Chain A
Amino acid sequence: MKAIFISYNQALNDRVMEVLDRHYARGFSKWELTHGRGSIDGEPHYGSHAWPSMNSSILTIVDENKASRIMDSLRDLDRQTTQGIRAFVWNVEDQL
């Protein structure tokens, strides 16, 4: 089992959800509005006057083979748009 944390411009919400659906990743937790800033040159997303845009974040736990397919799709999505989408994968040790 792998955990994928996806943080993305909220404008991409529909498309990210579509990726999850496409890969039958049923379970997820989502933070509708999160603040964030890219490590290199990513635009800040603060919901403020200067930086009005906001991020959304999703944490989803999927099978290992599904995780790589989801990551591929997210990479595709990232290439299509200049609005940032970042995803990070790590192992899940245990579950209920």
Chain B
Amino acid sequence: MKIYESSVRKPISTILIFLGVIVFGLFSLRNLAVDMYPEMDIPSISVITTYSGANASDIETNITRVLEDNLNTVNNLKKMTSKSSDNISLITLEMEWGSDLDEAANDIRDAVNRVQSLLPDDADMPTIFKFSSSMIPVLMLSATADESYAALNKILDEKLVNVLNRIDGVGAVSLFGEPTREIQVNVDPKKMEAYNLSVEQLGNIIAQENINIPSGTIDIGNNTFNVKSDREFQSSDVLKRILVTQQNGRNVYLSDVAEVKDTLEKATMDERVNGQRGVRIIVQKQSGANTVKIAQAVMAALPGIEKTLPPDIKLDIIMDGSESITDSINSLSETVMYAFLFVILVVLFFLGRWRATFIICLTIPVSLVVSFIYLYMTGGTLNIISLSSLSIAIGMVVDDAIVVLENITTHIEKGSTPKEASIYATNEVWLAVIATTLTVVAVFLPLTMVSGMAGIMFRELGWIVTLVVCVSTLAAITLTPMLTSLMLKAQNSHTYKGLGIVFKPIDRFLDRLDEKYAGMLTWAVRHRTTVLVLSLGLFVGSLFLLRKVPTEFFPASDNGIIAAQVQLEQNIGVDFTAKIARQIDSIIYTKYPEVTVVSASAGAANSDNAFAAMQTTGSYIINYNLRLPRRTERERTIFEISDLLREDFDHIPEIRQYTVTPGGSQGGGASSASNVKLKVFGYDINQTNAVATDLKNKIAALPGTRDVHLSRDDLRPEYNVVFDRERLAYYGLNSTTASTYVRNRINGLTASKYREDGDEYDIIVRYAEPYRTSFEDIENITLYNSAGKAIKLKDVGTVTEEFAPPAIERENRQRVVSVEASLADGVPLGQVVEEINQLLADYTVPDGLALEVGGTVEDQQESFGDLMTLFLLIVMLVYIVMATQFESFKMPFIIMFTLPFAFTGVFLALFLTGTPLSLIALIGAIMLVGIVVKNGIVMVDYTNLLRERGSSINQAVINAGKSRLRPVLMTSLTTILGMLPLALGTGEGSEIWQPMGIAVIGGLTFSTMLTLLVIPVVYSVFGATGLKKERKKLARQYNDD
């Protein structure tokens, strides 16, 4: 017994099996985690090496180059970039997507071990650092305070950080810009000199006074007692009364030579939230933990935490990583529901019978639910890729059921009972149904094999659509006949009773449409040349249109976050930087009232966590994070606001350069905006700087670019204390001691730790601030030799002002400086890249330098290249599937004639809606290959059938067209309307998939209209030439005889 026969004869088993699948699917759905994207490991590993005291070029020669030469041998290495700055070398190895990162890390470790002996002795062991997506913050909170500000660090640490850390899945909670308490001993160098004291001596004395020494145990009688001498400072005031020396029989106390202050560390960072002093709290998740769950747990814990905090401390949310996820998922779920509704309406419109509609639409949930089982089994998540896949598949899953049901209805109309019809009608079409499904599979299965970042995105799409479509076919040949055998009545035509009256005009309309179309076809097959020339012209015309459609990589989406980095002149201190930050704050408040949270952090954090390492900070840099309400709740998009913000920055003279990133830079992956990089390769720093600056000005003049800046900072002025070795030797000093003296006086000497309530605070001895504010102050620093003799720094050395490159960047072992630019609102990437290429065409590059356009365009070219290969592969596969189905080379060729028109439709739709050709639109176009040939198969298959039954070519073509018009229109319309909600893109984060919807709708609409004319015409052309050939052959045979 065939599968469809068993299912009709055993309805209980059939129903229960599908019910089981649905239950399992719903169970999976309940347990599926929600996320933005499928899990992807960013294939990037860094090697960090520190070498104290070396400047950027020393680091480059001694560390970076040595390591780079060896790391170059690592397998699957795609790109190696490095940044050598003072004291530190950072090499980043970008691996091919999908390569095994653990293995790569091992290779890298081996390579590092091999060269370990070649590195300078003082250099630290290189650290291998694997970046993971768990480092992207899940939540960014801010805490602002008035009176409690000084104690904010301690309060937050105890009451917030510890509590949040206990939440399951929270990886790290770090504080930024928190005030740190320290005990300062600010010495007066003149008084010190008078008493013949040095900073080091003071430090020693303080360390010796602040000590606990266990002295052993004594036995008294039968008891043993511990003895200790506990001299640790009980309060910071004790310091003042420390005896430092005796002069002329008088005691000199610390307070006589220095000012002791129990205060907050001098801020290197000015952290403000909505203008108030505050602390930024960053919550990171454990690797593999679910963002949404953690964010929800943290949000749930916050009100409780807030109650335990002093009333003046206020917690705010700067960024909630889960919000955009839930918004996107909700809006996409809505899209899927609308698609479902549209498909039902289309089916009802054409069939006009609610039972038939019910049977067909039942295949939708049955097949969609299987994708949840797949996701659950493979550990996937409900993300925008998987949900969009459902939205894409929804219009296709009904196609098979429609074909089967249509044939069953025909049989019933001929007088079979529903049960007989269900079995034997399915028998007639089941192979054809499987064949058309194979063409869809031929398109989507190769998608799972795409490499690179696009591969990660489309693997899930490929699997889900393949699975769902296969299950829908299975349902169409089992569930559908089973249901028709039970539910359909043996009645011939509509009765138009009751509600059915609405179908009367619809039926009349459809009948008229059939007639009209048949008339048109009759005309077309008689004017074959005209039709072909016209359609060819249309296609060629659309190729010109393609030049008008710009390209981009990923459509940008408005997630309500704007990040900005503002750089002032170098060497500007944090205080002045903070002043400018306040000025910018007030501009934002007055001009952009829609911004709800303004988080500004000026200066550099001294924190050493991974998140800090990824951000560029400096005393002259302000990092902004702006938060806006949902897109639907405001009028201006983040892109418009970003452009306006840039104008505002232009009007502040202190700002040297800035970047505004709509979408934020930490959002990860696709949401952040595109950029363009022009890389200048070359060894000579001055020469490359000159070329890069020149190009920067030229690129800045292009209308589509914004925030143009160089990756390499200008040479930085610094004071260099150069000791004269001979003079040092004369005074009995060496360079190390002399340099340490200078460091202790300016940076300070950490003498000891002050302990209070289990926390430790540094006690720092250094020159009081007024004595370290000028060039002369450095020269006047007093050094002491071993004999205790005081020597002025100017006697043994000179202080010179120098300029040094702050960092040297390299890419693939070549020095590089890149000109980086963001794009203006609505300007597509391709347009700017083309402008830059034109600019470079007549730009003379000095000898030894090389230019290269990079940035997002690199990814774009790579992905577009991958997709082109994929496209060819898919076309070939589809051809093979069709050729085997028809056992003919000619038939698939006829069907493939529709493909160019699908692309015409895509270009036209993109052009009319002003949508750039992005990766997503391209995927849509590729999907069309499978969707549009389905129409062709239906037409050609039936024409062949009529030919075999003995009709003449033109008769067969016209009759087949007339009888297949409804199924073709129906399957096309279900797919088109299924995509409509996606193309309208109303929800949060839906901008990403909009181009796909537009491409598919445009392509399918256009190709369906033309398929209905062109395929019959081409068929009749081929058929006619075939006939002529046969006649000639026969004639020859006859003549030979």
Contacts and interface: CB of A to CB of B under 8 A. Distances in A.
A11 B949 contact: no
B949 A50 contact: yes
Contact of A49 (B411, B415, B423, B945): B945
B764 to A, nearest CB: 92
Contact of A83 (B414, B427, B948): B414
A58 B945 CA distance: 29
A48 interface: yes
Given A10-B424, A11-B420, A11-B423, A81 B945 contact: no
Contact of B416 (A12, A51, A52): A12
Contacts of B949: 50-51
A48 B420 CA distance: 19
Nearest to A10: B424
29 contacts: A9-B416, A9-B424, A10-B424, A11-B411, A11-B416, A11-B420, A11-B421, A11-B423, A11-B424, A12-B416, A12-B420, A14-B419, A15-B417, A15-B420, A48-B948, A49-B948, A50-B945, A50-B948, A51-B949, A52-B428, A53-B424, A80-B415, A81-B414, A81-B415, A81-B416, A82-B414, A82-B415, A83-B414, A83-B415
Interface in A55-77: none
B486 to A, nearest CB: 15
Contacts of B637: none
A12 B419 CA distance: 10
Contacts of B945: 49-50
Contacts of B419: 14
Interface in A14-46: 14-15
B984 to A, nearest CB: 42
Contacts of B944: 49-50
Contacts of B416: 9, 11-12, 81, 83
B507 to A, nearest CB: 22
A13 to B, nearest CB: 7
Given A11-B423, A50-B945, A50-B949, 18 more contacts: A9-B424, A11-B411, A11-B420, A11-B424, A13-B420, A15-B420, A48-B948, A49-B948, A50-B948, A51-B949, A52-B427, A53-B428, A80-B415, A81-B415, A82-B414, A83-B414, A83-B415, A83-B416
A51 B428 CA distance: 9
A76 to B, nearest CB: 12
A55 to B, nearest CB: 11
A28 B421 CA distance: 25
Contacts of B427: 52
A92 to B, nearest CB: 31
Contacts of B415: 80-83
Contacts of B414: 81-83
The range of chain A's interface size is 10 to 19
Contacts of B948: 48-50
A81 B948 CA distance: 25
Interface in B375-422: 411, 414-417, 419-421
Contacts, number: 39
A12 B423 CA distance: 11
A80 B415 CA distance: 7
A56 B944 CA distance: 26
- The 7 lowest CB-CB distance pairs between A and B, nearest first, are A81-B415, A50-B948, A52-B428, A11-B420, A11-B424, A11-B416, A82-B414
Nearest to B423: A11
Interface string B234-258: 0000000000000000000000000
Contacts of A11: 411, 416, 420-421, 423-424
A82 B490 CA distance: 13
B70 to A, nearest CB: 66
Interface centre among A9, A14, A15, A52 (most CB of B within 10 A): A52
A64 to B, nearest CB: 30
Contacts of A81: 414-416
Interface string B188-200: 0000000000000
A35 B727 CA distance: 117
Interface string B783-826: 00000000000000000000000000000000000000000000
A15 B945 CA distance: 29
A12 B417 CA distance: 8
B483 to A, nearest CB: 18
A13 B416 CA distance: 10
Contacts of A9: 416, 424
A44 to B, nearest CB: 8
A10 B417 CA distance: 12
Contacts of A51: 949
Contacts of B411: 11
A52 B431 CA distance: 11
A11 B948 CA distance: 23
Contacts of A53: 424, 428
Interface string B915-951: 0000000000000000000000000000011001100
Interface in B417-467: 417, 419-421, 423-424, 427-428
A48 B948 CA distance: 10
A25 B128 CA distance: 88
Contacts of B428: 52-53
Interface string B836-862: 000000000000000000000000000
Nearest to B407: A52
Nearest to B421: A11
Interface string B935-971: 0000000001100110000000000000000000000
Interface centre among A11, A12, A83 (most CB of B within 10 A): A11
A17 to B, nearest CB: 12
A14 B419 CA distance: 10
A40 B551 CA distance: 65
A52 B421 CA distance: 13
B1014 to A, nearest CB: 24
Nearest to A46: B948
A83 B420 CA distance: 12
Contacts of B420: 11-15
A19 to B, nearest CB: 14
Interface string B710-745: 000000000000000000000000000000000000
A75 B217 CA distance: 121
Nearest to A44: B949
Nearest to B947: A50
A26 B524 CA distance: 59
A10 B411 CA distance: 12
A12 B945 CA distance: 24
Contacts of A15: 417, 420
A12 B424 CA distance: 10
